Chains A and B, each alone.
Chain A
Amino acid sequence: MRKVSKAAKAWDRGFRVLAAIGAASPAVFLAAIAAIVLVESIPTIRFMGFHFLTETRWDMGNLYGALTHRNGITAPAGATYGALVFIVGTLLSSIIALLIAVPVSVATALVLAYRVRGPLGFLLNILVELLAGIPSVVIGLWGILVLVPWIANAFAPFLKSILGFIPFFGGQTGTGYSLLASGIVLAMMTVPIITATTRDLLQQVPVLAREGGLGIGMTSWEVVRYIALPYIREGFIGAVALGWGRAMGETMAVLMVSGNATNILPQNLYSPISTMAAFIANQLDSAETDASGMAVHALSELALILLVITLATNLVARWLVRPRRREGVMAS
């Protein structure tokens, strides 16, 4: 019998090292992203302290005037960086997106998992997956072409006329570039994520459990309501958290339809807003023009907060959807 040659063994070892480098690269990149964004935001953290999170005014200061010094940091006179508007915008728009996307996704997943099969089911599955692949700029394009005019002309007045007595629904209906438009556009982008995960979860519900339900005389809807949905509950919450993280980090579509409000908190559903991600994308020019470099550091802190929030939701989501063994059918 021939032995494994030395050369083959050396190859094996070399390839293993190469593969390990590839496998380590995501961790390296992740650490690099976190480190760079953190280091670059230290000047703003020292300059603003907690006021970064609680103030609504974001002002670059007088870029061509005198400089001020505070806490050992030099900034343009009058500069103040308060991110509350963007944090609120991010949270509100993503929550509105979830309020729309969650019921719609559950409905779609139920239909895809239990109601269509064969070639038709295959086709419909593909269509929903296609939605996930559409670039956000194109969704933003649709937002400007179709959604914003529709909100301004029809939907916002309609909502106001029937729900206007509730504070957040009344008031000026605005131009359509709004919190509502951002929420709907974000819903378009989270629906495929939540739907795909939920559909997979629903397909994992044991057939025996479902047939057992039918066997004791439940209607097919009751099987869904009392057996399938409770069975997937934790995973489903994870899927929602995953979609939420995506919605908060989404940039372009929101940037295009949000109205890019600064320094003012949204008054109602129809007010323009801005999110952290959209604001960063929007501020390239000011980052380039601020000679003191504070704008770059301030945006960096915004990126840091966004990173922390999305990572936190992601971690919770992964923890909830992690694959696990189940004891009994009804153990939920």
Chain B
Amino acid sequence: MRRRRRKWKGALGWALAWLGFALVLFGLIDLVGSVLWQGLRSFRFSMLFQPTQGIAGGLENAILGTFELVLIGVVFAAPLGVLGGIFTSEFASPRLAAAIRFVAEVLSGVPSIVIGYFGYLLLVLHFHWGFSALAGGVALTLIMLPYILRTTDTSLQQVPLLQREAAWALGMTRTQAILKTVWRPAASGMATGLLLAIAIGLGETAPLLYTAGWNSNNPSLALTHSQVGYLTYVAYTYLDEPYAQARQLAYAAGFVLLMLILIIQLVVRFVVWRSSARGGRSAA
């Protein structure tokens, strides 16, 4: 009797676990499926080469604007993050390293809208940059920086100490050791982190609402005082419009965005899987 009850309990428990798992998978598939399906029906290739006009038109301005913002974000975030990661892993004492990691984690926990509002207060209002590419890019920097720092740090930590000691034994300084040998095995992990940070930047909306503004023309080269459009804005705003055309544009924007991010994510996973299958280091 008792044994049977225990068996039943176990079966029930695992059944519930599988049920929860199935729910997650179903949610994911439903989400990706319905957004891709709606997007495919609304997407026209001509949208890629047309700027937005009023409530309709294309997405060229938004796509270019997204790339510009992410590029500016990466230009600031990548050097700071990579250098910071190198410092954390290679130069800092264990306690200092723990402190830096902790601060980076805390920064990544700051809600993105707070970062956006901070950008608005400091850059848009105090610095008088106005809604601009630079303000949006800096806001994205704050989102990406802790992520890049952490992935650089973790992939450097996986390089065996032996490799450093070999380099030091050759009479290299710590800097030479890092720049000549230690970074090589960690490179794939760092690149993965950078790509995923870009994927995060592409999908952000909240930090940009208050910093980048919106522009239905293609982005100009002016860094300040010129608003920029971006994809997530289209997806968010045009969905509320009562016109079918506008909503189609929103679906198409969501579609392009999702495709970009899925491609980056899948490429990254595939590369990680390949390198770990070959017995290389598994990254980040």
Contacts and interface: CB of A to CB of B under 8 A. Distances in A.
Given A11-B175, A141-B239, A134 B109 contact: no
Contacts of B28: 127-128, 130-131
A112 B24 CA distance: 12
Contacts of B280: none
Contacts of A211: none
B145 A29 contact: yes
Residues of B contacting A: mostly: helix
Contacts of A284: 209-210
B251 A219 contact: no
B114 A307 contact: yes
A37 B235 contact: no
B151 to A, nearest CB: 14
A251 B206 contact: yes
A225 B21 CA distance: 17
Contacts, number: 274
A176 interface: no
Interface string B11-35: 1011011111101110110111011
A311 B83 contact: no
Given A29-B145, A252-B236, 9 more contacts: A15-B175, A22-B85, A130-B262, A131-B31, A133-B265, A138-B35, A138-B258, A220-B14, A280-B113
Interface of A: 1-2, 4, 8-9, 11-12, 15-16, 18-27, 29-30, 32-33, 36-37, 40, 103-108, 110-112, 115, 122, 124, 126-131, 133-142, 144-146, 188, 191, 195, 219-222, 224-225, 242, 245-246, 248-252, 255-256, 277, 280-281, 284, 287, 296, 299-300, 303, 306-307, 310-311, 314-315, 318
B174 A12 contact: yes
B280 to A, nearest CB: 16
Contacts of B219: none
Contacts of B117: 37, 280, 299-300, 303
A144 B220 CA distance: 33
A112 B14 CA distance: 12
A108 B19 CA distance: 9
Closest 4 pairs between A and B when the two form their complex, measured CB to CB = A107-B20, A135-B203, A249-B111, A22-B83
A128 B28 CA distance: 8
A301 B11 CA distance: 51
Contacts of B254: 137-138, 141
Contacts of A248: 111
Interface stretch (B46-54, B57-65, B118-126): B118-126
A22 B87 contact: yes
Contacts of B203: 133-138
B176 A8 contact: yes
10 contacts: A4-B171, A9-B173, A15-B178, A20-B91, A21-B80, A22-B81, A36-B118, A141-B235, A141-B251, A225-B13
Contacts of B121: 36-37, 40, 296, 300
B110 A137 contact: no
A22 B257 contact: no
A19 B38 CA distance: 46
B282 to A, nearest CB: 11
Contacts of B273: 122
Interface string B102-134: 111111011111111110111001000000000
Contacts of A141: 35, 38, 235, 239, 250-251, 254
Interface in B225-244: 232, 235-236, 239
A126 B84 contact: no
Contact of B110 (A11, A126, A249): A249
B109 A245 contact: yes
Nearest to B269: A126
B82 interface: yes
B100 interface: yes
A33 B209 contact: no
Contacts of B68: none
